[in-house]
Amino acid sequence: MIRAVRANHKGFHAALLQPGVNLILADRSTSAGDKDTTNALGKSTLIEIIDFCLASNTSPGKGLRIEALQGWAFTLELSLSGRDVAVTRATDTPGFFAIEGATDDWPVRPTPNKEGVPGLDAKKWRAVLAWALFGISELSAESGYKPSARSLLSYFVRNQTAAYNIPFKYFDNQKTWDIQVHNAFLLGLNWEKAATWQQLKDQKNALDALKQAIKTGAVDGELASLGELEAERLRLSTQLERERDALSSFRVLPQYREIEGQANVLTGEIHGLVNANIVDKRRLDRYRDSLVSEDVPTEDRLEALYGEAGIALPGAVKKTLEDARAFNAQIIANRREFIASEIAALEAAVSERETNIATLTDRRAGYLSALAGQGALEELTQLQELHAATRLKVDELTNRITQLRQMTTKADTIKVETVELKRATALDYEERRALWSQALSLFSEFSESLYKSPGRLVIDIDDTGYKFDVEIAGSPSEGISKMKIFCYDLMLISFARQRGLGIDFLIHDSTIFDGVDPRQRAHALELAAAMAAKYDFQYICTLNTDMVPVSDFSPGFDYEALVRLRLTDTDASGSLLGFRY
């Protein structure tokens, strides 16, 4: 239970609190102008200070850690496990919580800082709160989805506007597992089932992400069917075996390149000789044809040529026909002699080349015989590289096949485990009926106190885990939506006290009554007072004075006796901090 909220500056208005209902009012003074407001007097700041001292997360430049509050330290006096303590947290050193009071039974003891002040860091202070308020341990470093003191506290100290939208959430982007685990804990359900549900969701999401990554190319390979992958692996395995056989029969000849070069030189020489023989054989054919086809001119032809020469060259033809015959015979004899000598020379050259070709061919055959069945080192290296590449592809396919099989098996396992979890959760739900039905009864009772007919707190179990809802007739209106949260929170604190949990305070900002009919406001405050007395807890609520439904309270309900602090807009000193920023 919270006893007081203080600060280290004189202008601060300390809030001294008591069991039962505690109203923090913001008064509008008679001298206030039209532009003055009661919305900046510190009602919400008081709740923020309480939350700050209860180890809420903070960021530089936000909340209480702004330049205007540098040097400020806030103290929360409260009772934990039946002992009074005071915790102080400074805006300049938010990671340290100074502790005063009896702490000898705490699971973790305060230790002095460098200034000698005993205290705890945020993690250890939260562990103490978890132990004292909810009976759980936060000292374990194990990861997982489990209730935390800060998340549980956020249902009893709604410290931001978004916390007043949906009963089961305390901020807009709250994770589904967070909602399920913490509401399950508070409603007496098996929160470990909700944690297991989220673990199965994580596994499914991981599988879906892997499949998507493969499809989009973030992971090598394409998502093929198992049959396609097996067929490709068989093809590559056959290729791998052929390459392995080729490597096993391969022999390296150290002088391979030298001998190969010599063989290539001989091949070039042979090709040159063969080409030369082809040319010379063509010349031989022409010469031989010439000898066969060339005829000696006849006597008549020679006389005709001689006569034609005399007509064409008068006076120039002085030789006799006999002389002409002798000259022609000499020419033919000379030509035949020349062709015969050329034929002999060409035949000799061709014969010599053929002899050389035979010799060179024999030598090249020796070199090729030496190379047969053996190869150069670089060829072996190339074969090995190709073999390694094929083996890598086979290994990759094998891994992908294994992965696909595992993914398929895992997906099936998740489906089976989800069905089994749903069944087990339903059984556990029935076994806990006596416990959670108390929560449902309380919600129904509280809603009926505010409206003509009782509302319903609904707990369902589907394929995604626990589902929660609240129903009150007329729900679409803003006021009734807020009263859903009021009834749910009042049920939570009453139910927690019934179960023997250490949490014994519930805190609401004036937002809880936005749009609420004055009669329901009055009923709500009277109901809070009655339940606080019945279940021994403390209800703290901040209100503007004009929101107090004075004329709608039941006779004998003295709301003035519940006012613990009045803030005013007369001047800046009337605000909680003693100044405005």
> Could you report the per-residue pLDDT of 372-392, keeping only the tens digit for each?
656 555 665 666 777 688 888
- Give the percent of the chain with pLDDT over 90: 54
Rounded CA gap, 483 and 492, in Å? 14
- Go through 201-218 and write b for each residue having 16 or more CB atoms within 10 A of its CB, e for each that does not: bebeeebeebeeebeeee
- Looking at residue 465, its pLDDT comes to 94
CB 26, CB 568: distance < 8 Å:
yes
Confidence class of residue 36 from pLDDT cuts 50, 70 and 90? Answer: very low
Q: If you average pLDDT over residues 90-118, what whole number do you get? A: 95
141-150 tens-digit pLDDT: 455 799 999 9
- Looking at residue 259, its pLDDT comes to 60
489-537 tens-digit pLDDT: 999 999 999 999 999 999 999 999 999 999 999 999 999 999 999 999 9
The full DSSP string for 157-202 is B--SGGGGS-TT-SSTT--HHHHHHHHHHHTTS-HHHHHHHHHHHH
CATH number of 2-189+432-574: 3.40.50.300
**DSSP code of residue 297:** P
Report how far apart, in Å, the C-alpha atoms of 126 and of each of 115, 311, 378 are.
22, 143, 69
| Cβ neighbours, 10 Å, residue 499 | 14
Q: Report the range of poorest mean pLDDT among 326-335, 366-375, 450-459.
A: 366-375
Helices 478-498 & 433-450, crossing angle to 10 degrees?
140
- Give the CA count within 13 Å in the CB-facing half-sphere of 575: 16
- Looking at residue 292, its pLDDT comes to 73
73-83 tens-digit pLDDT: 999 999 999 99
Q: Report the range of poorest mean pLDDT among 2-11, 179-188, 335-344, 516-525.
A: 335-344
Q: Where are the domains of the chain?
A: 2-189+432-574, 256-374
Provide the β-strand partners of residue 567.
Answer: 26
213-265 tens-digit pLDDT: 765 554 555 556 778 878 888 888 888 887 777 667 655 455 556 666 776 88
Q: Report the range of poorest mean pLDDT among 5-9, 27-31, 105-109, 554-558.
A: 27-31
Mean pLDDT of the chain: 85
Q: If you average pLDDT over residues 470-481, what whole number do you get? A: 78
Joined tokens for residue 242: 């052929």
CB 421, CB 193: distance < 8 Å:
yes
The pTM of the full predicted model, rounded to 2 decimals, is 0.72
